[in-house]
Chain A
Amino acid sequence: EDKVVQSPLSLVVHEGDTVTLNCSYEVTNFRSLLWYKQEKKAPTFLFMLTSSGIEKKSGRLSSILDKKELSSILNITATQTGDSAIYLCAGSDGSSNTGKLIFGQGTTLQVKP
């Protein structure tokens, strides 16, 4: 059965710290790995990764995919309280050609002032 596992499940840091969130996947006919940030409402899209070893960056956030290790990491540098959220990782399942996403449980990040 397809699964995506994230670690840690929760994390508490102080402003200015750097954090690394992990995601490992076992997805049939894997096509892409996506990261979302979920606050109190809609999960908002962060990154889509399809190629191994190519880092994607957006401000203080960056992410990279390792297809050999079936994993991805999301880095956040110089964390701010506004980074507090649940970070979701999802693998895109290509087996049925529909692009449905298999989500991990999420990592809850709390950034303290």
Chain B
Amino acid sequence: NAGVMQNPRHLVRRRGQEARLRCSPMKGHSHVYWYRQLPEEGLKFMVYLQKENIIDESGMPKERFSAEFPKEGPSILRIQQVVRGDSAAYFCASSLQGALTDTQYFGPGTRLTVL
């Protein structure tokens, strides 16, 4: 019974490159959340998706960041033209129903380093 999977676990990019982070939710879960953890800070909500729909992207930076959760395959968080300030740990969580009292289970995170 695999938990939430994220890959890659570590990603190094140079300024201006693109970063693609993948998240496969727990089996049976169709609700995905992305959070970012900057150094010395707590996790900050970025976006909430259901299959083929972005439900809440209020925490996403307005430019360069996008997310999708296609009908088939993992959820993708895409960061275009990365800058040093994008260096952080990006965590994905999934829940069964997306209900307000539904538990979110986290993946191991992707640690992005921008050189």
A binding-site residues for B, Cβ under 8 Å:
4, 31-32, 34, 36, 41-45, 48, 50, 88, 90, 92, 94, 96-106
A97 and B41 contacting across the interface, CB-CB below 8 Å: no
Given contact pairs A100-B45, A100-B59, a sample of 13 additional A-B residue pairs in the complex whose CB atoms are under 8 Å apart: A32-B100, A42-B3, A42-B108, A42-B109, A44-B106, A45-B103, A99-B98, A99-B102, A100-B33, A100-B56, A101-B45, A101-B104, A104-B42
CA distance A98 to B44 in the complex (A): 15
B3 vs chain A, min Cβ distance (A)? 7
B binding-site residues for A, Cβ under 8 Å:
3-4, 33, 35, 41-45, 48, 55-56, 58-59, 91, 93, 95, 98-109
Minimal Cβ-Cβ distance residue in A for B102: A99
Q: Provide the residues of chain B in CB contact with A4, threshold 8 Å.
A: 42
A97 and B100 contacting across the interface, CB-CB below 8 Å: yes
CA distance A31 to B102 in the complex (A): 10
Of the residues A42, A96, A99, contact of B107 by C-beta under 8 Å: A42
Q: Provide the residues of chain A in CB contact with B56, threshold 8 Å.
A: 96, 98, 100
B33 and A92 contacting across the interface, CB-CB below 8 Å: no
Of the residues A36, A42, A43, A94, contact of B100 by C-beta under 8 Å: A94
A48-B45 contact in complex given A41-B108, A96-B56, A100-B33, C-beta closer than 8 Å: no
B108 and A98 contacting across the interface, CB-CB below 8 Å: no
Q: Provide the residues of chain B in CB contact with A106, threshold 8 Å.
A: 42
